[in-house]
A and B are shown apart, each in its own frame.
Chain A
Amino acid sequence: MPVSPNLKDFVTQVRRDILRQVHNVNSGHPGGSLGCTEFFSVLFKEILDTSTDFNMDGNNEDMFFLSNGHISPVYYSVLARSGYFPVEELNTFRLINSRLQGHPTTHEGLPGVRIASGSLGQGMSVAIGAALAKTLNNDDHLIYSLHGDGELQEGQNWEAIMFAAANKVDNLIATVDYNGQQIDGATDDVLPMGDLKAKFEAFGWEVIEEENGNNINAVRNVLNLAKSKTGQDKPVVILLKTVMGNGVDFMMHTHAWHGKAPNDEQLEIGLQQNPETLGDY
């Protein structure tokens, strides 16, 4: 299926939103956000069966949980542009009295967010709990979650990974943003994690690798493939290779922009590389 011009435009606009949010407050995390833009865009526009009439319990709809909460700029942009709250509210990112906190929270009542995240390693457990609730409720909708690769250094993940396989939590699709970077450098330098595929498989998960996590078609295909693997007594994980900072040439392939905002000049370059499509907020 060809990529609809619409979705390409959506992705480009989300990238602009990410850059403008972090630039406005000179803080936030553009690198991982840019790397996950295709994933979020495809997931929310084409995959998730959700209602934008937000309800915390999310019964009879798919749900998404962001575990690596620092990539809030992409989450907020995609939520806003999917109708959860006014796009203009992106102007308030990280400002005082905002619903758009530095890391996502339920505390300020922002529609679309069902758990606070930011302190890493907790989202897998939460997603599993939500998946178990769906099973108890005879609700055949799916739970999706996103995790950083560096985040897998947190031990709670492996408690959760073990539990999900042992309990055949097969209505869960976890995705790992496999960009190979974390704050202090490349994951291979900070704490090499070895063969993630083999690790997940050893724990009993269905593992799907995707090398082109910044290609809209590839992301769509891998998410649909993952959906087809649910309901088979195994949790499903997608190891999604992405490029941190994707779409802004000087931010790519480096951890330098993990948690740093562009200055005025850098913003202009980034915006030129991602021209306005759906209208800036």
Chain B
Amino acid sequence: MSPNDLSSYLIIGAILFSLGMFTVLTRRNAISVLMGVELILNSANINYVAFSHFSSGNSAGQIYAIFVIMLAAAEAAVGLAIVLAIFQLFHTIDVEAAQTLKE
């Protein structure tokens, strides 16, 4: 583990991914599940930028990271709008409560 070593960044990314995956798997609150997705996207971004810095030497990885951040913003906007719509309909955001496809 040192700041000048690729594998330390990859390990940070791996742990962050597992924590995000754990959040997605165990949480019953839809907003918490979305937080887990954000952790997973951040870990993927760390890997992109780390490989861009240590392995490829060009900036393509950073550009992909920016696209991922852009898609994460779009995903958060639409995902939270869906959560709010579910809350208005069911008065709860427990992901197990929202089971029906129509009113």
B partners with A: no
Residues of chain B touching chain A, judged by Cβ–Cβ distance below 8 Å, are none
The chain A residues found within 8 Å of chain B, CB to CB, are none
